[in-house]
C-alpha cells in the first residue's frame, strides 16, 4: 500500500531540499499520466482534486481512479489531497472518501472568492486540524491570498503573506503545511510584464516557521504548449506562467509543494487540438485522449526532474494514516 499522509512526503522533501509537484486531476487519463511519470522518474507524488473536480466526477469515480493509482503503483508513495477545501464539511467529505490530505483555504470565505480575515482563517483552519488529525490526515492551510502583484486584483503587497502573521497562524492552528502568497496566481495569465515574485517574503517566512511551505499558482505555462494550442486553432494570446528557474529558486528557499493544474490542462488541450487539426478523420476518443495522456506524462516527468523529486520514491518506509494518528495523538 503506497497511500501515505502528505505530511510524510513533504517532511522528507523538506529534509532533503527538493520539491514535490501536486498535480490536479479530473479524469482517468490525468491520473494515469501522473503515475506513469512517477514510475518513469521514480518520484513520490501528490495527486490533488479540487471541489469542482470531485463534483464533476461525482465523487466516487475520482475516488476509485485515485485508489486504482495506489493499487497499481505500490512502489510509489502517493498522497490523495483535497485542493482548496472551503469548509469543514468539504474536508469531512474528502476524508470519508479516503483522502490522506486536505487543504482548508481559510484565506477565503466559504464562497471561495471573498477574502476572509485572520480570525476567520484561524478558526476554520483550527477546526479542520482538530478533525483531520483524528484520522491521521494531513492539513494544508493558506495565509495571504493569491493574485499576482500586477494582475489588477487589488494592488501590490496587500495580497502577499505577512511573515509575522504566518508564524502566529502556524502556532495558533497546528497545521502541517502552509501555502503562502508571494505573487503567483491561478491560471494561464499570471503576469502582465515580467515575473515578479516576492522572494523576500518567502525568505522571511522560512526564517520564522519550520513546516513545509506550498506554492499555489505554480504552472510555468510553457511557450511550446501555448504555441501548439495557438497553432492548432486555439486562442491564448499573452499567456504567461512562472519560469522553471524561479520555481527552482523557490524550492531552494524552502518551498516543498508546488501546485500545478494549468500546465496539465494545456498539455491535454495542445495534444487534442493537434489530432483534431491534423487528422480530422479520427473519431475514436482513444486516438486523441491517448496522445493527450502521453503529452501530459512528458510534461509531468519533466517537472519531477526539474523539481528534484526524481529518484526519491524509495527513500523511506511509507507511513499509514493509522501510524500518523499515533504521531498526532502524542
For binding to ligand G3H (CB under 6 A), which residues are involved?
A: 24, 50, 52-53, 83-84, 186, 261
Q: Does 262 bind ligand 13P (CB under 6 A)?
A: yes
Nearer to ligand G3H, 52 or 311 (CB): 52
Are residues 143 and 169 in contact, defined by beta-carbon separation less than 8 angstroms? yes
Which residues, other chains included, contact 227 with Cβ-Cβ below 8 Å and sequence gap of 6+?
none
- The catalytic residue among 11, 83, 162, 176 is 83
Nearest distance, CB of residue 261 and ligand 13P, angstroms: 4
Choose the one of ligand 13P, Zn ion, ligand G3H, none that binds residue 53, judging by a C-beta under 5 to 8 angstroms depending on kind. Answer: ligand G3H
Interface with Zn ion in residues 77-116 (CB under 5 A): none
Q: Which stretch binds Zn ion (CB under 5 A): 22-30, 197-205, 213-221, 282-290?
A: 213-221
Choose the one of ligand 13P, ligand G3H, Zn ion, none that binds residue 219, judging by a C-beta under 5 to 8 angstroms depending on kind. Answer: ligand 13P
- CA 308 – CA 305 distance, rounded (Å): 5
Nearest distance, CB of residue 23 and ligand G3H, angstroms: 10
Nearer to ligand 13P, 216 or 273 (CB): 216
Nearest distance, CB of residue 168 and ligand G3H, angstroms: 25
Nearest distance, CB of residue 114 and Zn ion, angstroms: 16
- CA 227 – CA 234 distance, rounded (Å): 9
Q: What is the DSSP string of 4-68?
A: --HHHHHHHHHHHT--EEEEE-SSHHHHHHHHHHHHHHT--EEEEEEHHHHHHTTTHHHHHHHHH
Q: Does 140 bind ligand 13P (CB under 6 A)?
A: no
Q: Which helix (H) or strand (E) holds 72?
A: helix 60-72
Choose the one of ligand 13P, ligand G3H, Zn ion, none that binds residue 148, judging by a C-beta under 5 to 8 angstroms depending on kind. Answer: none
φ and ψ of 21, to 5 deg: -75, 140
Q: Does 216 bind Zn ion (CB under 5 A)?
A: yes
83 given a catalytic annotation: yes
Choose the one of ligand G3H, Zn ion, ligand 13P, none that binds residue 218, judging by a C-beta under 5 to 8 angstroms depending on kind. Answer: ligand 13P
- CA 153 – CA 48 distance, rounded (Å): 26
Are residues 272 and 210 in contact, defined by beta-carbon separation less than 8 angstroms? no
SS (H, E, C) 152-207: CCCCHHHHCCCHHHHHHHHHHHCCCEEEECCCCCCCCECCCCCCCCCHHHHHHHHH
Nearest distance, CB of residue 167 and ligand 13P, angstroms: 23
Active-site annotation, residues: 83
> Which residues sit at the interface with Zn ion, rule CB under 5 A?
216
> Which residues sit at the interface with ligand 13P, rule CB under 6 A?
24, 83-84, 186-187, 216-219, 259-262
Amino acid at each position: 500500500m503506497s497511500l501515505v499522509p502528505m505530511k510524510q512526503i513533504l517532511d522528507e522533501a523538506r529534509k532533503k531540499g527538493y520539491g514535490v509537484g501536486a498535480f490536479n486531476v479530473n479524469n482517468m487519463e490525468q491520473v494515469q499520466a501522473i503515475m506513469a511519470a512517477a514510475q518513469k522518474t521514480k518520484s513520490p507524488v501528490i495527486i490533488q482534486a479540487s471541489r469542482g473536480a470531485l463534483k464533476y466526477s461525482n465523487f466516487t469515480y475520482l475516488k476509485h481512479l485515485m485508489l486504482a493509482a495506489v493499487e497499481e503503483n505500490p512502489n510509489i508513495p502517493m498522497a490523495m489531497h483535497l485542493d482548496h477545501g472551503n469548509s469543514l464539511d468539504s474536508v469531512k467529505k474528502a476524508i470519508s472518501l479516503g483522502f490522506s490530505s486536505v487543504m482548508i483555504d481559510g484565506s477565503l470565505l466559504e464562497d471561495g472568492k471573498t477574502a476572509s480575515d485572520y480570525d476567520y482563517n484561524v478558526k476554520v483552519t483550527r477546526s479542520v486540524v482538530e478533525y483531520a488529525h483524528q484520522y491521521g490526515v494531513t492539513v494544508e492551510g493558506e495565509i495571504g491570498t493569491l493574485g499576482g502583484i500586477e494582475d489588477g486584483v487589488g494592488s501590490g503587497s496587500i495580497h502577499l503573506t505577512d511573515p509575522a502573521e504566518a508564524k502566529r497562524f502556524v502556532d495558533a492552528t497546528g497545521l502541517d503545511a502552509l501555502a503562502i502568497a508571494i505573487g503567483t496566481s491561478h491560471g494561464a495569465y499570471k503576469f502582465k510584464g515580467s515575473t515578479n515574485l516576492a522572494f523576500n517574503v518567502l525568505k522571511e517566512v522560512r526564517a520564522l516557521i519550520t513546516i513545509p511551505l506550498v506554492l499555489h499558482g505554480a504552472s510555468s505555462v510553457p511557450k511550446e504548449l501555448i504555441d501548439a494550442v495557438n497553432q492548432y486553432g486555439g486562442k491564448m494570446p499573452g499567456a504567461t506562467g512562472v519560469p522553471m528557474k524561479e520555481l527552482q529558486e523557490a524550492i531552494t528557499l524552502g518551498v516543498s509543494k508546488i501546485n500545478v493544474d494549468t500546465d496539465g490542462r494545456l498539455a491535454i488541450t495542445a495534444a487534442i487540438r493537434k489530432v483534431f487539426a491534423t487528422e480530422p478523420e479520427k473519431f475514436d476518443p482513444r486516438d486523441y485522449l491517448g496522445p493527450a495522456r502521453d503529452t501530459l506524462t512528458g510534461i509531468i516527468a519533466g517537472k519531477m526532474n526539474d523539481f528534484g523529486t526524481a529518484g526519491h520514491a524509495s527513500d523511506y518506509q511509507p507511513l499509514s494514516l493509522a501510524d500518523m494518528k499515533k504521531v498526532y495523538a502524542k
